[in-house]
Amino acid sequence: MKILVLGGDGFCGWPTSLHLSQLGHDVVIVDNLSRRNIDNELETSSLTPISTMGVRLEAWKELTGKDIRFERLDVARDYDRLLALLENEQPDAIIHFAEQRAAPYSMRSSATKRYTVDNNTNATNNLLAAVVESGQDIHIVHLGTMGVYGYGTAGMKIPEGYLDVEVTTDEGERVSQSILYPTNPGSIYHMTKTLDQLLFAYYAKNDELRITDLHQGIVWGTNTPETELDERLINRFDYDGDYGTVLNRFLVQAAVGHPITVHGTGGQTRAFIHIRDTVKCIELALGSPPERGERVRILNQMTQTHRVRDLAELISSLTGAEVAYVTNPRKEDPENDLHARNDLFLDMGLNPTLLDEGLLLEVTDIAGRYRDRADLGKIPARSTWTRNQAPGVPEKTPTATD
Amino acid sequence: MKILVLGGDGFCGWPTSLHLSQLGHDVVIVDNLSRRNIDNELETSSLTPISTMGVRLEAWKELTGKDIRFERLDVARDYDRLLALLENEQPDAIIHFAEQRAAPYSMRSSATKRYTVDNNTNATNNLLAAVVESGQDIHIVHLGTMGVYGYGTAGMKIPEGYLDVEVTTDEGERVSQSILYPTNPGSIYHMTKTLDQLLFAYYAKNDELRITDLHQGIVWGTNTPETELDERLINRFDYDGDYGTVLNRFLVQAAVGHPITVHGTGGQTRAFIHIRDTVKCIELALGSPPERGERVRILNQMTQTHRVRDLAELISSLTGAEVAYVTNPRKEDPENDLHARNDLFLDMGLNPTLLDEGLLLEVTDIAGRYRDRADLGKIPARSTWTRNQAPGVPEKTPTATD
């Protein structure tokens, strides 16, 4: 298959691009390097020393003989170039990662709220409008988030995208309906993925586009078999308070000698997936597209749920790192249970990578290898959800720049 | 009250601004004149000769002694100026009309799809982010559309915003939930109002903004008591295929000697409201804001439903105009029933302006007075929903430019 990977320079996009190329697909990466530019803005960087796109693709060619091409293009802005790319490349599928993906960054300021809404909504709409205008029958695979559902239910497992409900008619009759699961996003970032859902539903209905929306859990781990081949292929590893996600953040904290910062009571339960399973799920989703005219195919791309404080205590026991319970910068329920279905991927043959001490220690090893690159002052989460929250800074924190 | 009217130069915004000023409120109109600029783009204009904003406000001052101020500002682009305006003016309420509001225009091309999504989503998000950043407790009143609901139900009347459903838990227990009514928009324009709903729900939850969302039916009529005071205050009257809405379009067709163009079988049933009731509803909504922390207050701003072919036949019988059944440029159900609640406004004391021969003929009179300004070639609806639809052009149509 000819596949475009929008956002193919990012944490999920890069290993996905390599995985699909390794499988023999013809991959074109489309990216505006926004993730690297936001690092510049935040004065931080990947803990791992990621190579430039030029070096990455040269190394991949050298090691595997396979070509991946790169188009530097802003999907949210450069509509005409995007359309021309579709017309020239005639892709079979497009993987859409081209969105700002950090909840804390999206809550940092009015400017980042506005950037996140503007970028994510226009990127998605531009892609959809361009596919319609091209007249091509391209399967679109989008990375959504489990966060569209919110983190509580009325007592059922979170289904995959659609919820069966009963409504009562004016005559008192009960009627069953299958509806998009009512959303309850916890940040501006998560909210943009609920907007994406409505865009997808509309274009699937009006234009019969074939769309798969993958509601992904929090990704942990950093390497896949392909990124491990050579240091020039190494994946990014975010450890700062805005882009470092919870499990990986704990692992890097343990590796660099920073307390493991748990927000509030750590009673939040979240869904997780290992980066190896992310790339496998995308492979599976590509192999199982919806038909034209079908509703959006929605799958939960997660394998396990964990309570945050349990993860902190586990990593503490494995590594000896101290756990610091800090103020929660987010506005969220202090405690929640979470049960979600992921039958669709299991039925397709996904063999989940479960939480495992060896895999956890592997991440800590990688983080430890690059610990000198870490700016400890960047670790605490400082973006607050409203003026009533405070940054999640431990009392006695190692301060490098802060 | 100090009230900002975003989009106060438009078809609903202008009479609303005058009505609120007449009631004694301190009104500031904020507009980027986009509606006049789109007329330039479409090479059409209001059937009625609307004055410039300068002349409008001078006439209002001369006739009533009341000042309305005007800020030319693009709410979707000029965030810093919008924020400064909130800080300087400290308004009690903001009415948000600042969105591209024509379904056919939103389906005209990729460019207009993209403009509609970009403008409407960023306008709403900028407003919300600015109110949060200002720290002020401002009541936001937004003009939504009945079109967010779609035009069919499972057999109950369309409720006002929220739907009571039952879900079955994993233990087999039925649990009641009140959810945002599952949306089913019929165009990119309507879809943007479903995105707005999710933005409002998020900011009401996270930031406790006080928001009222008015799901308005199709507006008919053109004058209110205030716009009738002087020709310099006349309201715009759109008759072109993109901006002319169904009932008003039939009335102008009758007035200028163009066949009344009914799309498909005319079996579509839609919700309607007279422009006089629009301005009254906004007055009522302003007087009944939600509390801080309350969910978004959603009201259906409509008074009657009518089937399109019945309206065509009624106007034909009143005026003698011919009815032409033409191809439907829209992708929609050919026939539907529609029943919707509007108890909230009735309970507040709205006395609905119902369909009435006198009021219909008054519109035709106004249209007839300015018939020489009409470009008949602009009347048929030519924006098609997909490549599979065709423009709604009658076989023997008077062609001026076409």
Per-residue pLDDT of A22-59, as tens digits, reads: 999 999 999 999 999 999 999 999 999 999 999 999 99
* The pLDDT of residue A395: 83
- Give the CA dihedral B176, B178, B180, B182, nearest 10 degrees: 30
Question: Residue B128 contacts by C-beta under 8 Å, 6 or more apart in sequence?
Answer: B140, B199, B200, B203, B207, B209
Which H or E element spans position B84? helix B79-89
A157 assigned to active site? no
CA–CA distance, B227 with B235 (Å, rounded to integer): 6
Residues in chain B, pLDDT under 50:
400-402
- Quick check: A196 and A213 in contact, CB under 8 A? yes
Minimal CA separation from A344 to chain B, in Å? 18
* The pLDDT of residue A398: 55
Q: Helices B246-256 and B308-319 meet at what angle, rounded to 10?
A: 20
* The pLDDT of residue A153: 78
* The pLDDT of residue B44: 97
* The pLDDT of residue A402: 38
pLDDT digits (tens, 9 = 90+) for A322-350: 999 999 999 999 999 999 999 999 999 99
The backbone torsions φ and ψ at residue B390, rounded to the nearest 5 degrees and listed phi first, read -125, 155
Minimal CA separation from A257 to chain B, in Å? 34
DSSP3 helix / strand / coil % (chain B, rounded to 5): 40, 20, 40
Complex-level ipTM:
0.97
Query: In terms of DSSP bridges, do strands B269-274 and B304-307 run parallel, antiparallel, or are they unpaired?
Result: antiparallel
DSSP string, A114-125: HHHHHHHHHHHH
* The pLDDT of residue B398: 55
Nearest CB to B166; choose among A165, A170, A198: A165
Residues 47-86 of A with CB under 8 A from B: 79, 83
Show the DSSP H helices in B263-307 as ranges. Answer: 275-286
DSSP string, A55-90: HHHHHHHHHH---EEEEE--TTT-HHHHHHHHHHH-
Residue A235, chain B, CB below 8 Å: the answer is: no
Minimal CA separation from A202 to chain B, in Å? 7
According to DSSP, the residues that pair with B166 across neighbouring strands are A166, B176
Query: In terms of DSSP bridges, do strands A323-326 and A260-263 run parallel, antiparallel, or are they unpaired?
Result: parallel
Q: Which of B127, B180, B188, B331 to mutate to test the interface with A (most CBs of A within 10 A)?
A: B188
Number of H helices, E strands in chain B: 12, 14
- pLDDT at A137 exceeding the cut of 80: yes
- State whether B114 and A165 contact (CB < 8 Å): no
Closest of B202, B227, B196, B226 to residue B214, by C-alpha: B196
* The pLDDT of residue A401: 43
* The pLDDT of residue B303: 97
Nearest CB to A198; choose among B169, B195, B331: B195
B193 assigned to active site? yes
CA–CA distance, B15 with B223 (Å, rounded to integer): 8
Q: Which of A79, A124, A156, A341 to mutate to test the interface with B (most CBs of B within 10 A)?
A: A156
Residue B156, chain A, CB below 8 Å: the answer is: yes
The mean pLDDT of A246-268, rounded to a whole number, is 96
Please identify which of the residues A44, A48, A112, A145 carries the catalytic annotation. A145
- State whether A164 and B166 contact (CB < 8 Å): no
Which tokens go with A243? 């882009």
B149 assigned to active site? no
Task: Give the burial class of B396: count Cβ atoms within 10 A of its Cβ; 0-12 exposed, 13-18 middle, 19 or more buried.
Answer: exposed
DSSP state of B376: G
Residue A388, chain B, CB below 8 Å: the answer is: no
* The pLDDT of residue A397: 54
CA–CA distance, A29 with A96 (Å, rounded to integer): 11
The backbone torsions φ and ψ at residue A103, rounded to the nearest 5 degrees and listed phi first, read -60, -50
Nearest CB to A206; choose among B79, B83, B385: B385
The mean pLDDT of A212-217, rounded to a whole number, is 98
* The pLDDT of residue B155: 80
pLDDT digits (tens, 9 = 90+) for A92-110: 999 999 999 999 999 999 9
The mean pLDDT of A61-71, rounded to a whole number, is 98
Residue B174, chain A, CB below 8 Å: the answer is: yes
